[in-house]
Amino acid sequence: MGMTMAEKILARHAGREEVAPGDLVLARVDLVLGNDITAPVAIREFYRIGVEDVFDRERIALVPDHFVPNKDIQSAEQAKIMRDFARKFNILHYFEVGRMGVEHALLPEAGLTLPGELIIGADSHTCTYGALGAFATGVGSTDMAAAMATGEAWFKVPATIKFIYRGKLPPWVGGKDLILHTIGDIGVDGGLYKALEFTGEAIEELDMDGRFTMSNMAIEAGAKAGLIAPDATTRDYLKGRASRPYREAFSDEDACYEKVIEYDVSNLEPQVAFPHLPENARPVREAGDVILDQVIIGSCTNGRIEDMRAAARVLEGKKVHKGLRLIIIPATQAIYRQAIDEGLVHTFLDAGAAVSTPTCGPCLGGYMGILARGEKALATTNRNFVGRMGHPESEVYLSGPAVAAASAVTGRITHPEEVL
Amino acid sequence: MEYRGKVWVFGDDVDTDAIIPARYLNTSDPGELAAHCMEDADPAFMVKMQPGDMLAAGKNFGCGSSREHAPIAIKAAGISCVIAASFARIFYRNAINIGLPILESPEASKALQEGQEVQVDLKAGTITNLSTGEVFQATPFPDFMRQLMDAGGLIPYVQQKVAGQKG
């Protein structure tokens, strides 16, 4: 019996010939990560274990990104706990403000997440690295603490659901639309405890940034991981970037899938997810008249250079609607710089947008764009739960960057074709 | 281990932002987190609940973020256990790791009504509705999860392991 790529990666890291769904394995991890919210709890638990050192100072990544540059005294204290820990144990991959980025954009960019690797992170969107063909999954702070001490973690091998996206992607349709459509189909628990594997010609056609967006939101279907097999696009991305040698993993021809779901995407429309769950996806043209107070373009889902370019293409020569705030947050310093070099930031500023240093900020209702009671926002982020971006009576809608930019121009949820 | 308390009922897909909104994540102090437990699902929850009470919810409880602050807030608020039709994966793992008792039972989740008195026998995995006399059997935990719970959570489990390697 063949294995899926998820099963192969878990088997290799557990030192086993093969594994099957349901098996419990103790596996070596290639990277453990945490952020300024989750790492302080993990550090407290780490000290309770009573080991003298971390398992490997080069295999831990600590990224202050949620509330930095710090928004208040309490968050500054949290960030300091992580900074002090990084100094004490000489953690190689600690990224200070000015050099940091949103973790799931930053770590792939730094070549720290690689095909065939097993990665855990105390952040639910750790599944982003599945886009590179890694088995990457979110865990809690206590799991992070144990892994920092031992270099290992326990896994229940998940069954895999295979998705095949057939057909050519229509204009204005990208990774965000594919994944919102998928979650709309299977639901927010449609992938619960499963690995998702994204395949098909539409995936092959997607650039790396679009693939990151898809894998990033696997968790919004409840999934443990969202994997894409490495190909020429993956290898091009990793050229000159990979921080260590890696070994790719591919699903066998005779791998066993729990389910295979196929979509023909050749007529797919840009999608928008309505409050208060990502599964409330529908075509933008069917959104009706949703008047917006704010648009956010950024986050670990859509804050990469292709997202900035897509937004700039729509905003070029236009103005942000007078009744609306547009906030654009490039996800890393490198993306920020590239957006400046390519003239995208000029386009944003000319349009009347606010452009911020990298931060998760508004995505989780942290700061930098909190909503008042009754306000509505369209965001390229990943969650639209009650109170996600501010007041419990505010609303968040989700879309890709082109729809977000077009909507910022008209002041309501809008298809990009309407403004171009 | 047995628990007895009044049950508070919530719906499907209760997310971690509802359990503990991110605006309060600038602290990791369990007491401070507990003060805002379930705030965006029911702003009056912490005023109404009594220590020892239980939560009952529908499918996919704890979906969303990996924040361990969510089970920490529930535990520190004094909730004795959480019963749901199903749990989101990371929440399930976190609850076991920190020693918050959880039980998966679609039947109990469907039947329990707010305010009913419930008794839970964690070892036997039974949920008894004292108001109606109904008894529900929860999905059994895998052996490894049981070992973790018996050890008191993941940290004591790893402590034992590390101590064993040293000795």
| Burial class for A57, CB neighbours closer than 10 Å (0-12, 13-18, 19+) | middle
Give A-chain residues touching B65 at CB under 8 angstroms: 123-124, 364
Q: How many CB atoms lie within 10 A of CB A229?
A: 17
| pLDDT, position B161 | 84
Q: Does B13 contact chain A (CB < 8 Å)?
A: yes
How far is Cα A36 from Cα A52, in angstroms, rounded to an integer?
22
* Minimal CA separation from B24 to chain A, in Å: 9
| pLDDT, position B167 | 57
| Parallel, antiparallel or unpaired: strands A281-283 and A271-273 | antiparallel
**What order of strands is seen across the sheet that includes strand A281-283?**
A281-283, A271-273, A395-398, A376-379, A294-298, A325-329, A354-355
Of B142, B153, B159, Cβ closest to residue A50:
B159
Over range A384-388, report the average pLDDT: 97
Residue A105: closest CA among A298, A355, A309, A354: A298
How far is Cα A321 from Cα A314, in angstroms, rounded to an integer?
13
How far is Cα A369 from Cα B69, in angstroms, rounded to an integer?
23
pLDDT tens digits for A24-44?
Answer: 999 999 999 999 999 999 999
pLDDT tens digits for A82-129?
Answer: 999 999 999 999 999 999 999 999 999 999 999 999 999 999 999 999
- Which listed CATH number (3.90.70.10, 3.40.630.10, 3.30.565.10, 3.30.499.10) goes with A271-419? 3.30.499.10
Domain boundaries, chain A: 5-241+255-262, 271-419
Decide if pLDDT at A419 tops 80.
Answer: yes
In percent, how much of chain A has pLDDT > 90?
100
| pLDDT, position B144 | 83
- Which listed CATH number (3.90.420.10, 1.10.1370.30, 3.30.499.10, 3.40.50.300) goes with A5-241+255-262? 3.30.499.10
Give the C-alpha distances (Å, rounded to integers) separating A414 from A272, A350, B150. Answer: 10, 21, 55
Q: What is the ipTM of this complex?
A: 0.96
- Given the structure tokens 């390229």, which residue do they identify? A380
Give pLDDT tens digits along chain B (167 positions). Answer: 899 999 999 999 999 999 999 999 999 999 999 999 999 999 999 999 999 999 999 999 999 999 999 999 999 999 999 999 999 999 999 999 999 999 999 999 999 999 999 999 998 999 999 999 999 999 988 888 888 888 889 999 999 888 887 65
Over range A162-168, report the average pLDDT: 98
Closest-CA residue in chain B for A393? B40
| pLDDT, position B150 | 83
pLDDT tens digits for A293-324?
Answer: 999 999 999 999 999 999 999 999 999 999 99
Decide if pLDDT at A406 tops 80.
Answer: yes
Is the CB of B41 less than 8 angstroms away from the CB of A386? yes
| Parallel, antiparallel or unpaired: strands B117-121 and A325-329 | unpaired
Decide if pLDDT at A150 tops 90.
Answer: yes
* Minimal CA separation from A142 to chain B, in Å: 7
* Minimal CA separation from B131 to chain A, in Å: 31
| Parallel, antiparallel or unpaired: strands A259-264 and A294-298 | unpaired
* Contact criterion met (CB below 8 Å) for A237 and A231: no
Of B25, B63, B68, Cβ closest to residue A222:
B63
* Minimal CA separation from B156 to chain A, in Å: 7
Give A-chain residues touching B142 at CB under 8 angstroms: 24, 156
* Same CATH fold assignment for domains A5-241+255-262 and A271-419: yes
Q: Encoding tokens for residue A358?
A: 């990298």
Is the CB of B13 less than 8 angstroms away from the CB of A188? yes
- Given the structure tokens 């499918």, which residue do they identify? B59
pLDDT tens digits for A209-264?
Answer: 999 999 999 999 999 999 999 999 999 999 999 999 999 999 999 999 999 999 99
How far is Cα A35 from Cα A38, in angstroms, rounded to an integer?
5
How far is Cα A15 from Cα A333, in angstroms, rounded to an integer?
38
Is the CB of B89 less than 8 angstroms away from the CB of A149? no
* Minimal CA separation from A271 to chain B, in Å: 20
Is the CB of B25 less than 8 angstroms away from the CB of A154? no
pLDDT tens digits for A339-374?
Answer: 999 999 999 999 999 999 999 999 999 999 999 999
Helix axes A305-315, A333-341, angle to 10 degrees: 40
Report which DSSP code applies to B31: H
Q: Encoding tokens for residue A129?
A: 């690295």
